[in-house]
Structures are given as C-alpha cells and as structure tokens.
Amino acid sequence: MGKSKELSVDLKKRIIDLNKSGKSLGAISKQLQVPRATVQTIIRKYKVHGAVVSLPRSGRKRKLSHAAERRLVRMVKSQPRITKKQVCKDLEADGTQVSVSTVKRVLHRHGLRGCRARKKPLLQKRHLKTRLKFAVDHMDKDKTFWRKVLWSDETKIELFGHNTQQYVWRRKGEAFNPRNTMPTVKHGGGSIMLWGCFAASGTGSLQKVNGIMKKEDYLQILQENLKPSARRLGLGRSWVFQQDNDPKHTSKVVKEWLNQARIKVLEWPSQSPDLNPIENMWTVLKKRVHARKPSHLAELHQFCQEEWSNIRPEACQELVDGYQKRLVAVKMAKGHVTKY
C-alpha cells in the first residue's frame, strides 16, 4: 500500500476551528471527508504542541554513533591529506561500513571541508627560529620605522597568465564549446622577469631583467635604481633597504657596494615571502596587467610599467602601516607560515 498524502495546513486549521466550535469528531470527519482517526490525531497534536504544522521527524538512524563521529573527525584532523575513500576503508577495517557521502556530511557538520592546499615555502627548524626571532625583535617598531623601509623583490610575469583560472556559465555537455574554453600556449606564451621596489609613500623603480640574472646584473640594478627610488619616494637619509637572502643578493660584491654606499640593510629571515608586503603588490600588478590582455612581450612590459606607476600611494601606505599584524601572525604561529 502506498504512502498516504499528508493533509494541507489549511485543512488542518479547519479541523481545529470546527473542533473549537463544538463539533464532534464524527461530524468533522463527515463534513471534511477526512478519516475520524486522522481528525482525532490532528486535534490531539494541536492540544500538545499548539500548532498544526508537521514537526521535524527523527529520520533514519545514523550510521555512525557520536563516538564514531568524533573518532572520524580526529582521524581527519591528524591526517589532513587523507581522502574520503581512504577514510571509508579505514572505517570498514574497523567494522563500520559507510559511504563517501556519509563521511562528507559528517565532516561538514563539524566545519571541515575539502580545500586546495596552499603552496607555501618549506620551513625547517632553523627557518622557524629565525622567523620567530625577526618577529619578536621588530614587534616594538612603530609605523614610522616601517615607512622608512624600501621593500624589493623579483617576480616573473607570464604573457597569458599560465596559472590563472577562468570560470564560465555553461550547460552540461557544453564544456568544449569554444566560448567556454580558455586557449593556452606552452610555457605561458613567454614571460618577463622584473625587479621592483616600493615604500609606504609609493612605488619605486620597476626594472626588466634580461635573461638569467647574475650577481653582476643585480648589482647594476641596485646602482641604477636604489638611491634614485629612495630620493623620489622622499625617504630621507635614515631609510632601510629590504631584500631576501637570494645568493645574488648576499654575494660579496653586492655586500661591498651596499657598505660603500652606506645603505643600511634589514636583516631578513630566509623563506619568508609572507613577511614581504611587495608580494601583495605583485599580485595587484599581475591582476591589472592580465585584465588588459597583452598580446606580446613588449606590450606586457609596457603594461607592467604603466600599472606599476598607477598604484596609488595610499594603497602602499595602507599595506605598510598594517605590517605589525604580520609580525603578530608569525609570533602566534610560532614561526610557521601565515595567511599573508
């Protein structure tokens, strides 16, 4: 026998109204063409709950007990890279057979969702120690100090944005419609390497690197761009230069020139791009440049120069003024990677 159709809320309300007017169960059943037992059940539930809407049902009994759910959550927390299928196999080995969907629902209830692992530099114990020391040593520096820092770094920008993603609205079976695909070329269609610097007062020089940069090339970039950028940005005499610990940056010839030029260098912890705000500037630059869709490398370089100079000084200052938050994040993470 099939499942009977549930009465509408309006019909249930009419049953209650007739009952309140003094009509008997049999009279209500006959008038509304509803079984007497159903009328009696609706009136009884109304007297208990004060409503005619259907109450939540308990549903099917859960496959996993509360203890089993807690064990499942502990398993995933201790092994974040474990797959749902592997979780099912581990549970089955212990005598509990559940589907992948059940595992997913349980994890979602506990706030755990599958996400792409963020790519971050590999940190060894010595890196953690130096990062934590840097954060603690510079925690008392105020905005005035960081506004005197000239931040620098190199980046590679590909012509067609090899790592970009594009989402489209389409129907099933239309995945390979030319309107729904994103053309690609090998090696991103070519790329250029850039060296740049900026401070809280704005962007400094942006220099294209020809070929593979050697220490001599890096030295020439510093000689031609470092002091002019500092003067143009109004950093005064007591400014500090920031660079990472790339072997070219720490080479003997570069160190000697920096000493002779009396340029103070900020001691920097290795493997710490999250502590360098210029990484955020590179992200902004790449988004703006790729939005203009350059068609060849010369145009790519031109757009980079234009968009770099178009970044507002207010955006630079806001980025630098929030620097202490990075130090706090590194300290809270005990030297490990942060969201920056």
Range of lowest pLDDT (78-92, 125-139, 298-312): 78-92
Of 200, 224, 189, whose CA–CA distance to 314 is shortest? 200
Q: How far, CA to CA in Å, does 249 sit from each of 139, 232, 240, 246, 275?
A: 25, 23, 15, 5, 17
Q: How far, CA to CA in Å, does 50 sit from each of 15, 43, 300?
A: 14, 10, 70
Q: Is the pLDDT of residue 1 over 50?
A: no
Q: How far, CA to CA in Å, does 92 sit from each of 99, 101, 325?
A: 10, 15, 46
Radius of gyration of the chain (CA): 33
> Do the Cβ atoms of 157 and 289 come closer than 8 Å?
yes
pLDDT in tens, 237-281: 899 999 999 999 999 999 999 999 999 999 999 999 999 999 999
pLDDT in tens, 111-132: 888 887 878 888 899 999 999 9
pLDDT in tens, 284-301: 999 999 989 898 999 999
Note the maximum CA span of the chain. 107
Q: Is 257 left (phi over 0), alpha (psi -120 to 50) or beta?
A: alpha
H-state helical runs in the chain: 9-20, 25-32, 36-49, 66-78, 84-93, 100-109, 125-137, 143-146, 215-232, 252-260, 278-291, 297-310, 313-321, 323-332
Q: Which DSSP helix (H) or strand (E) runs through 193?
A: strand 191-199
Query: With a threshold of 0.75, does the pTM exceed it?
Result: no
Range of lowest pLDDT (72-86, 172-186, 314-328): 172-186
Report pLDDT for 54: 80
Q: Is the pLDDT of residue 189 over 70?
A: no
